[in-house]
Amino acid sequence: MKAIVVGAGEVGFDVARLLAMEKHDVTVIDVNEEALQLVQNRLDVLTIHGSGTSADVLSDCGVRQSDILIAVTTIDEVNLISCMMANRLGVGTTVARVRSDVISQTQSIIKAKDFDIDILIHPEESTAEEVTRLIFRANATDVLTFANGRLNVVGMRIGATSPVIGVSLADLASSIPQYPFRIVGISRGIRTILPRGNERLQKNDQVFVLARPKHIPHVSSALGKSEQRIQNVMILGGTRVGSLVASQLGKRKFKSIKIVEPDRERAEKIANEFPNVLVIHGDSSDIDLLVMEGLGEMDAFVAVTDDEESNLVACLIAKHLGVQKTVALLSKPTYVPISQAIGLDAAVSKKLAISREILHFLRGKHVLSVATVHGLDVEILEIAARRKSFMTKKPLAELDVPPEMILGAVLRGKDLEIATGKTKIEPGDRVIVFVRSPFIPKAEKLFGGK
C-alpha cells in the first residue's frame, strides 16, 4: 500500500513508523526541514519538503496513485485542506487529525464529508475518555471498552501480598464461577504472555482481564485489589485533554475537582466554562503551590500538560504524598515502558488513538475494531467470523487454535459469552481476539470465509 503522511511531528513520526513497520510505501510531507531530517534518519521512508495543502506538492508525492493520506499536523485547517485536496486529486482514503470539535458535533453546520474526509480522529477526546475510565477504575493500569461498552479489558498489577500469587488461571476462574472472566494477556518483565489455564500468576505481573463491567470489581477483589472510591481530583494542565477530563468528571458526583493552569487567559476561560471546577492560576511545575492547594489530600492526580517531563515528575511527587491514583500523559517511547516501574499507576498517550484508527484501516474489512495497550505486545481485534471459516467448524476445545492468539469473548446479537473450550463460534459472530502482531494475517485468514 502507498501512504502519504502530512506532518513530521511526534504524531506524524509515529504514524510513519507504524506504516513502515507494516512494510508499506510511505511518504512524509512537512514544511519543517529539521523534523523531516529526523524522520529520514530514523525511518525507511521518503520525505518531501513542502505543504500538504499544495496540489503541486501532493502531485509530486504521487497522490493519485496513493491508497491513503493521513494529515496529522498540529493545525486543524492544514489537515482539513490537505484531505480535501488529496480527495480531489484521487487518493483512496483520507484521514484527518482534528483537535476542535466544531465539525464533529451532531449540530455542526460543517461536516467532515464537506471536506471529503473519510476518517476523523480526535486524539484529545479519546485520551480524555481513557483518563476518565482510569479514574473510575482506581485499581486499573489500563481500561479499554468493546461492544459498545458491554465488555471491558482492564489491566491490573499483581501486588506482593496478592492472594493469587502461584495460583493457576484455571483455579482462579473456578474460584468465582458466578463472574465469568478471562485473563487474556500477562506482561511479565519485558515478556508478553498469551496465557492458557495452567499459567500461574507471579508477583508484579500485569494482567489484562476481559469481563463485563459489572463483574470487574469482583475479579479485582479476587486478585487482591479492593475497590477505592475517588472523590477528590486534581488535574495539572488546562489543555484540551485537561478541560475534557474536567467536563466528563463534572457530570458525576465528586467532592472536588481542581485544575492548575499557568496561562491566565486559559484559566479564566475554563473557570467560566466549568463553574463547578476550582481553577487555580499558577505554575504547573511549582510543587509548593500544588501542595498548598491540597495535593496530598487528593484521591487522584492527573498530569496532562504539554511537558511530559513535568507530568512524570509531578505524578511521582503526588504518589510520594500518598495520592492513591496517578495518571500521566506520556507519549515518548522512552517514558511509557518505565512509568509504572518507577511508581506511576497509569500512563495515557494521544498517539494511541491515531494508531488504532490506522491499524483498523490496515486490517481486513471483517476486522471491526483494533486496540493496543501499553506493555502488551499484541493487538486486540474485534473480528467478524465469516461463513465456512476455520473458526466456525468446531467448539474451540476441538480446534487447533495457534498459541499466538487467544479468544476472549464472542458476541452474537444481544448475547455475549466469555470464551471457553465449549464455545462454538457461528458465522456472523463478533469475536474479541488477542493476537501477536506478526501472526495477524494468519489470524484473519482463520476467521475469513473461503
Three-state DSSP at 211 gives strand
Q: What is the pLDDT of residue 293?
A: 93
Which residue type occupies 34?
E
- 403/362 Cα distance (integer angstroms): 23
Distance of CA 241 to the CA centre of its chain: 14
Strands of the sheet containing 119-121, edge to edge, are 46-49, 25-30, 2-6, 68-71, 93-97, 119-121
Residue at 237 is within a domain:
yes
- Confirm if 22 and 87 have CB atoms less than 8 A apart: no
Residues 218 and 239 reside in one and the same domain? no
Least Cα distance to 405 among 432, 428, 424, 423 occurs for 432
Identify the CATH number of the domain in which residue 362 sits: 3.30.70.1450
Pairing type for strands 191-193 and 119-121 reads unpaired
Please identify, among 312, 346, 380, the residue that sits at the C-terminal boundary of a domain: 346
Is the torsion defined by CA of 110, 115, 118, 123 positive or negative?
Answer: negative
Q: What is the pLDDT of residue 232?
A: 94
What's the burial of 127, exposed, middle or buried (CB within 10 Å: 0-12/13-18/19+)?
Answer: buried
Residues 273 and 376 reside in one and the same domain? no
Residues 39 and 104 reside in one and the same domain? yes
Q: What is the pLDDT of residue 450?
A: 57
Q: What is the pLDDT of residue 107?
A: 47
Specify the residue for cell string 467532592. Answer: 255
- Confirm if 185 and 208 have CB atoms less than 8 A apart: yes
Please identify, among 197, 222, 247, the residue that sits at the C-terminal boundary of a domain: 222
Which residue type occupies 74?
T
Residues 116 and 23 reside in one and the same domain? yes
Q: What is the pLDDT of residue 180?
A: 94
Per DSSP, helices labelled H in 331-399 are 336-339, 350-362
- 359/311 Cα distance (integer angstroms): 28
Domain count, the chain: 4
Residue at 130 is within a domain:
no
- Confirm if 327 and 134 have CB atoms less than 8 A apart: yes
Residues 294 and 363 reside in one and the same domain? no
Domain that holds residue 56: 2-121
Residues 104 and 151 reside in one and the same domain? no
Please identify, among 346, 376, 398, the residue that sits at the C-terminal boundary of a domain: 346
H-helix or E-strand containing 325? strand 325-329
Three-state DSSP at 384 gives strand
Identify the CATH number of the domain in which residue 263 sits: 3.40.50.720
- 435/425 Cα distance (integer angstroms): 17
Q: What is the pLDDT of residue 275?
A: 87
Residues 110 and 176 reside in one and the same domain? no
Residues 12 and 117 reside in one and the same domain? yes
Residues 84 and 41 reside in one and the same domain? yes
Distance of CA 188 to the CA centre of its chain: 20
Q: What is the pLDDT of residue 102?
A: 54
Q: What is the pLDDT of residue 449?
A: 64
Residues 18 and 102 reside in one and the same domain? yes
Residues 336 and 379 reside in one and the same domain? no
- Confirm if 340 and 141 have CB atoms less than 8 A apart: yes
Q: How many helical (H) and strand (E) elements, i.e. helices and strands, does the chain have?
A: 14, 22
Per-residue pLDDT of the chain (450 residues; tens, 9 = 90+): 899 999 998 889 989 988 998 889 999 999 999 999 999 999 999 999 999 999 999 999 999 999 999 999 989 889 999 999 999 999 988 999 887 665 545 444 455 566 678 888 888 888 899 999 999 888 888 898 888 889 999 999 998 899 999 999 999 999 999 999 999 999 988 789 999 999 999 998 999 999 999 999 999 999 998 777 889 999 999 999 999 999 888 887 788 999 999 999 999 999 999 888 999 999 888 889 999 999 999 999 999 998 988 999 999 999 999 999 999 998 776 666 667 667 788 888 887 777 777 777 777 666 777 778 776 788 898 999 999 899 999 999 999 989 999 999 999 988 999 999 899 999 999 999 999 988 888 988 999 865
Specify the residue for cell string 519543517. Answer: 32
Q: What is the pLDDT of residue 358?
A: 79
Which residue type occupies 347?
A
Pairing type for strands 367-373 and 376-384 reads antiparallel
Residues 342 and 238 reside in one and the same domain? yes
Q: What is the pLDDT of residue 106?
A: 44
